[in-house]
A and B are shown apart, each in its own frame.
Chain A
Amino acid sequence: MKLNFFSFDNNRKLENAISFSIILFLFRLVFPDDMGFSPIMVVINEALVVLTFYVITLYVTEFIEEKKYPPLSLILNAGILNAFIFFVLAVIAALFAGIFSESNYANFFYSIASILYSLIFIAALSYIFSVFKRLFFLKQKKGNILYFNSMIGFLLATSASATLNFLTPSFDFINNAFKVVTILLIILNSIRISWIAFLTKKEKIYLLVISIILSILFGVNAGLSSNPSLTNKTLTEFSPALHQFLEMMMIYGSIFFGIVFFTTLFHLPTAEAFDRKAMEVSSLMDLSRLITQVFDFKELADTVTDITIQVCKSDSAWLVSNSKGELSLSAVRNIGYLEADKITNALTDQFDLKNINTVKTISKKQASLNGNGGFPSNDFSSFAVSPLKVHNFINGYLIAARRNEDLFDDDDQKAIGAFADYAAVAIENAKLLEESLEKERLEKELDVAREIQYKILPHKTPDIKGLEISALFIPAFEVGGDYYDFFRLEENLLGFVIADVSGKGISAAFIMAEVKGIFESLAKLILSPREVLTKANEILRGSLDKKSFVTVIYGIIDTKNEVMYTSRAGHSPLLLVRDGQIEEIKPSGMGLGLDFSPNFLNSLEEVRIKLKESDILVLFTDGIPEAKNASLEDYGYERFERTILHSCMGDINELSNQIMKDVTTYSQGNPQHDDITLVIFKWTKEKNNKAGEI
């Protein structure tokens, strides 16, 4: 409760500083002349001065910490204040001397002026002190706080002993002893300056100039403050401790800036290397941040070349990416695209860049010697080429070029190598992203194709007396373009078609849809398979591109006359299973889309087959004979026919299952790469008739 007023929480520091200044001001106004007479009053006075100084320092310290001033601006501020103190000590003192002569300096007006004057000194000193404190702790380890605190202790002791000295001058030696210890501690503390190393070269040169000026200025002020001038007399009368403190702070400044000067001087030769390392580190940090956040290859590429130019002191830089053997340039900086392209070609032609493991430096001389047509660039003389490697594969290059003939040194090469690694990752990321987008697009496309195919294929086989029908379709992952269908033409006529569109995916699915339309309409108009296929070829002429074709078998089964007519357009043969033997029905004919001249019709045969009881007709697409096993060998016709003969005695659905089982077992370990369609007819008229009779 009691402490509330003095509580130094963050919001009250400014108020505290102002209130203490006012209290001090009023105190001095009320007791102007008591100084030097009563020791109690002197002690109270000194206590007030110390407290005021303390609260102001608290406020200023926090202010500085909050603003996070860089050390150089802190030093500059302290310097300005110091110059101001110099101005007050040297110039104002001369003016005061004129206005207040010795005779009247005890009057009321003089008291107010001298109190304000002293308060200004308190404020200025507390600022300078805060700056020193901040500079001391900047980039320092925590353990050093003991040194600083003991220095403050001795500073206070020196100031206190000055007060004692003021009261009883015989204690002079105590003050001197404290002073010596304090100065030793000041020197000790000033040596521990680590922030200078982190300044850039430019800042170091600036600091060098400013520190020598400040060291001299503080020195001069220290000298001035120990003069028995009127200003000093005023200050001493106001508070001997304050005066002593001023002197000590000036000594501190002089020593501190002297040491700063020499430290900076020693740091100067390494300044450039330090700058470079710092830039490299921050560049790499920027890059690693970018690489995780940005997927835009262009932005990353631009950053990489910009940083290469900055860090490696090159005049231009560009990235070369190698996709499918073609070199393409990106993020070309400070050079014309054509010139960069020419240089890239010249470098890749003349040097074996395909097998470089690390950064290679090339001078124009070397390049000109190797080439026979001279070097294509007059402007650039020195190059560094770094491979962009991912999984030991060179994806491209990062090339940096200089106009002057300085070769890129080891440090440059290391940096370029590091940047190239980032560029390599960026390119790889961009590629992977593109691939996954492409894959997603393809998968969507395949979904559409599958849907089309599903809608096109018949969902059940027609129910025909005397004819058993089995149809089986197994789509491949990449939709293959298989199609089969049945058409009821007349009471006793059934048309059937099996087709395979070349190619895969959505384009095959669309052609398949068209093929369905064509056959559905032609089947009902024309009762000759040969003519149907000829007409279909003509219609497809408009929609098939040059490299697409469709293989088809079209046929008609006449159940009344027990006969089948069929024509084949490039499709795998139809298999007729009769009396335990297989006959390949392979009338001549080329695929739809191969030729649109009369050749097509001329090549096309139509066969007529008289059906016998228990005849089995097997229609299929090449997905069956071309099914591959793990060592990529075809399932083949022989195996296919063997399986058919083995299982043809039973039900045709069972036959279909047996075939698929055999194909699946054979091709285990290798994904199905094409659609499989299997349509089987069995002629069972007699069996049916008998069944009907019973």
Chain B
Amino acid sequence: MVDFNVETREDSHVDIVDLRGYLDAHTAPELENVFTKLIEDKRFKVVVNFENLAYISSAGLGVFMAYVETMRENDGDIKFTNMSPKVYNIFDLLGFPLLYEFYTDEKEAIKKFNEKS
């Protein structure tokens, strides 16, 4: 079985979500739970670190679309970092770079959040 793992940690008032493995229709609910929890806890500044993500399917992409609106309405955002070229290509084809911020390093994303506030 391919597996998927998601963990969250905090750095300078920003929540960092680390993804690992394969994010598809079967594992996407796990990530959804994490985002639901973040919104419940009023944590709207989120950086998603893709360093260890091997694959993302359309259902996985949909998770970000579902939550980004709420984050932005509350002065937050979902920013993407550390993507492999392969995974970035999927986001790029879809046109995500027109709507989301992508960074090569999570520090940049955190900095960006803290600059604004």
Residues in chain A within 8 A of chain B (CB atoms):
478, 500, 502-504, 545-549, 551, 569-573, 586, 588-591, 593-595, 599, 603, 626, 632, 634, 673-674
Of the stretches B4-12, B56-64, B71-79, B105-113, the one at the interface is B56-64
Q: Which A residue's beta carbon lies closest to that of B24?
A: A673
Contact of A502 among B59, B95, B98 (CB under 8 A): B59
Contact of A603 among B58, B65, B98 (CB under 8 A): B98
Find the residue from B59, B63, B69, B94 having the highest chain A CB count within 10 A. B94
- Asked, given contacts A502-B58, A504-B59, A549-B65, whether A572 binds B93 with beta carbons under 8 Å apart, the answer is yes
**Interface SS of chain B: helix, strand, loop or mixed?**
helix
Q: Which residues of B contact A591 (CB under 8 A)?
A: 94-95
Q: Is the CB of A503 within 8 A of B25?
A: yes
Contact with A along B71-106 (1 / 0, CB 8 A): 000000000000000100000011110110000000
Q: Which residues of A contact B65 (CB under 8 A)?
A: 546-547, 549, 593-594
How long is the Cα–Cα vector from A547 to B94 in the complex, in angstroms? 13
Q: Is the CB of B25 within 8 A of A588?
A: no
Q: Is the CB of B66 within 8 A of A595?
A: no
- Asked, given contacts A502-B62, A503-B59, whether A549 binds B94 with beta carbons under 8 Å apart, the answer is yes
Q: Is the CB of A549 within 8 A of B62?
A: yes
Q: Which residues of A contact B69 (CB under 8 A)?
A: 546
How long is the Cα–Cα vector from A547 to B63 in the complex, in angstroms? 6
Q: Is the CB of B99 within 8 A of A500?
A: no
Residues in chain B within 8 A of chain A (CB atoms):
2, 22, 24-25, 54-55, 57-59, 61-63, 65-66, 69, 86, 93-96, 98-99
CB proximity of A50 to chain B, nearest CB, Å: 85
Contact of A503 among B54, B62, B93 (CB under 8 A): B62
What 6 A-B pairs are tightest by C-beta distance, nearest first? A590-B95, A547-B62, A502-B58, A547-B66, A570-B94, A546-B66
Q: A478-B25, A571-B93, A599-B99 are in contact. List 19 more A-B contacts (CB 8 A).
A: A502-B58, A502-B59, A503-B58, A504-B25, A546-B69, A547-B63, A547-B66, A549-B61, A551-B93, A570-B94, A588-B95, A589-B95, A590-B98, A590-B99, A594-B95, A594-B99, A595-B98, A595-B99, A603-B98
Q: Which residues of B contact A589 (CB under 8 A)?
A: 95
How long is the Cα–Cα vector from A468 to B57 in the complex, in angstroms? 33
Q: Is the CB of B62 within 8 A of A548?
A: yes
CB proximity of B89 to chain A, nearest CB, Å: 9
Cross-chain pair count, CB within 8 angstroms: 69
How long is the Cα–Cα vector from A639 to B91 in the complex, in angstroms? 21
Q: Which residues of B contact A673 (CB under 8 A)?
A: 24
Q: Which A residue's beta carbon lies closest to that of B28?
A: A547
CB proximity of A85 to chain B, nearest CB, Å: 82
Q: Which residues of B contact A545 (CB under 8 A)?
A: 66
How long is the Cα–Cα vector from A262 to B39 in the complex, in angstroms? 77
How long is the Cα–Cα vector from A626 to B22 in the complex, in angstroms? 13
How long is the Cα–Cα vector from A547 to B2 in the complex, in angstroms? 23
- Asked, given contacts A546-B66, A571-B93, A632-B54, whether A502 binds B99 with beta carbons under 8 Å apart, the answer is no
Contact of A594 among B22, B24, B96 (CB under 8 A): B96
Contact of B94 among A478, A503, A590, A599 (CB under 8 A): A590
30 pairs from A and B in contact (CB 8 Å cutoff): A478-B25, A503-B58, A504-B59, A545-B66, A546-B62, A547-B62, A547-B63, A547-B65, A547-B66, A549-B61, A549-B62, A569-B95, A570-B94, A570-B95, A586-B93, A589-B95, A591-B94, A593-B65, A594-B94, A594-B95, A594-B96, A594-B99, A599-B98, A599-B99, A603-B95, A626-B55, A632-B2, A632-B22, A632-B54, A634-B55
Q: Which residues of A contact B22 (CB under 8 A)?
A: 632
Contact of A549 among B57, B58, B86 (CB under 8 A): B58
How long is the Cα–Cα vector from A593 to B65 in the complex, in angstroms? 9
CB proximity of B39 to chain A, nearest CB, Å: 13
Q: Which residues of B contact A500 (CB under 8 A)?
A: 58
Q: Which residues of A contact B94 (CB under 8 A)?
A: 549, 551, 570, 590-591, 594
How long is the Cα–Cα vector from A548 to B58 in the complex, in angstroms? 8
How long is the Cα–Cα vector from A570 to B24 in the complex, in angstroms? 18
Q: Which residues of B contact A551 (CB under 8 A)?
A: 93-94
CB proximity of A18 to chain B, nearest CB, Å: 82
CB proximity of B88 to chain A, nearest CB, Å: 14
How long is the Cα–Cα vector from A594 to B57 in the complex, in angstroms? 15
Q: Which residues of A contact B59 (CB under 8 A)?
A: 502-504, 547
CB proximity of B101 to chain A, nearest CB, Å: 14
